[in-house]
Amino acid sequence: MKRKLILDANILVRAVLGSKITQLLEQHASTHQFLAPEEAFLDARKHSLRVLEKHGVPDPSPFLETLEQLEILVTSVPLEVYISLEEAARQRLRGRDEDDWHFVALALLLDAPLLTEDKDLFGMGVSTWTIQNIAIYFELGI
């Protein structure tokens, strides 16, 4: 059975704007199931467009195509699957960015770690990994 790893929206944005994340996902797709709340894909689209506009990229379509391709590697999980844990996730995020509840709820539901660079998601009672240390997770099979 494949191990599960939740990706937050910022990780999806990084995958759209660079190649390191996508290569990492492709490399470990045979042993891991990568998931993200459907909300993460919506957020990634908005944030990617803002970053591309800020950097004067005239045609964002290749980047948006990359985001669509990511949905082959990363399963988009519908809200109704994890909404029952919204309150529990919001309680854990109290005083932080409660809009990130989707990631915490999905991680709680699946008892799966979260790949994130968002400090608001650290210390929420779910395992978190960063890009810097995710290789340890993959190597050790934690």
Secondary structure of residue 6 in the 3-state scheme? strand
Beta strand 114-115 with 3-7 is parallel
C-alpha to C-alpha distance for 49 and 64, rounded to whole angstroms: 8
Distance of CA 136 to the CA centre of its chain: 18
- Cβ atoms of 13 and 48 within 8 Å: the answer is yes
Local confidence band at 29 (pLDDT 50, 70, 90 cut-offs): very high
pTM to 2 decimals?
Answer: 0.89
Average pLDDT over residues 19-28: 89
Structural domains present in the chain: 3-140 (3.40.50.1010)
| Cα diameter, the chain | 44
pLDDT at site 142: 63
> Where would I find the beta strands (DSSP E) of 15-106?
32-37, 74-77
Local confidence band at 105 (pLDDT 50, 70, 90 cut-offs): very high
* Residue type (1 letter), 44: A
